[in-house]
Structure 1
Amino acid sequence: MARYTALVAIAGTLFLGAAGLASARKPAPAPANGPAAQIARGDKIFQTNCAACHGHGSGGDDYLTGEHWKYLPGTLAIYVKYQNAVPPALEDRTDLTHEVIEYYVRNGISIMPQFRKTVVSDQDLKDLSAYLMRNNGRASTAKK
């Protein structure tokens, strides 16, 4: 009986120790609100609604290769319009404002469709703006 009690005590100690290690390894959850959380939500919205046309595609960072077939439709359109004066991939831009992003998302342009509030809500748009403006060196002007 003493042997059984000792085994149960050892097993319990090991179990509690393992549980402590498992919980110690978990990173602190990201805050549900705040700039980091808003940018993370915006990234998700960008990947869902925008990246297929405005991401890097297989062109990567080298926009001077002349291999335009590698560009995604929106990225190619920006490349052609600005002749590489601004980065074609929206994620690399540092000149975007919430107002510009909102205008093009809500109204569309050329082959880019407009996105109704049922697809990209006002809060989604604010989160998207925070994500795309994260490289601007200034906080998003969009209110949470």
Structure 2
Amino acid sequence: MRKFGLFGLALSAMSLAACSGGSADDASAGANGAKGGPPPMPAPITLSDRPDAKGGEKLYVEKCMMCHGPNGMGTGLLARRTDVPLLEERDDLTVDFVTQAARMGIGNMPAIPRGEVSDEQLKEIGEYLARNNPHAGDGA
């Protein structure tokens, strides 16, 4: 079998669509998801999206957002178990819970070693995530 690359694959799809009674536009629409395909993934969130982020928010974007952002694996897995899968939107997190979950791992989340996130950084991230919890200061 000959290798055609992406251009050849697109031509093959268009030819197949033409032979089956469809149009080349139908074939290319299926390839890019414009007609009937799944919705596009949300764009990843980076510090360039939040230039004013400081402290725990900045650390969260740098260290956690790749998994716990809108298109992250951690958010997808949490969506199966909780009504609010985005950690930034939750109102039940405490600094202690965030620290314990990060250091020990929880569910499919691996333990985060101090070499990746220091204790001080993790505390700032925990404080940022606990900001919406009205009971976070109660030792809850």
TM-score by length of structure 2 reads 0.55
CA distance in 2, matches of 1:140, 1:120: 23
Higher relative contact order (CA 8 A, sep 6+): 1
Cα drift, residue 138 of structure 1: 5.2
Whether the 8 Å CA contact 1:40–1:131 is kept in 2: the answer is no
Aligned counterpart for 2:134 among listed residues 121, 133, 137: 137
Residue among 112, 123, 127 paired with 2:120 = 123
Normalising to structure 1: TM-score of the pair?
0.53
- Out of 96, 100, 122, the position equivalent to 1:99 is 96
Q: CA RMSD in A?
A: 2.2
Alignment check: 8 A CA contact 1:54 1:89 kept: yes
Match of 2:67 among 45, 53, 69: 53
Give every structure 1 segment of 4 or more consecutive aligned residues whose post-TM-superposition deviation is greater than 6 Å. none
What residue is the counterpart of 2:78 in the other structure?
Answer: 78
For structure 1, list consecutive stretches of 5 or more residues without a partner in the other structure: 1-38, 58-71
Helix, strand or coil at the partner of 1:111: coil
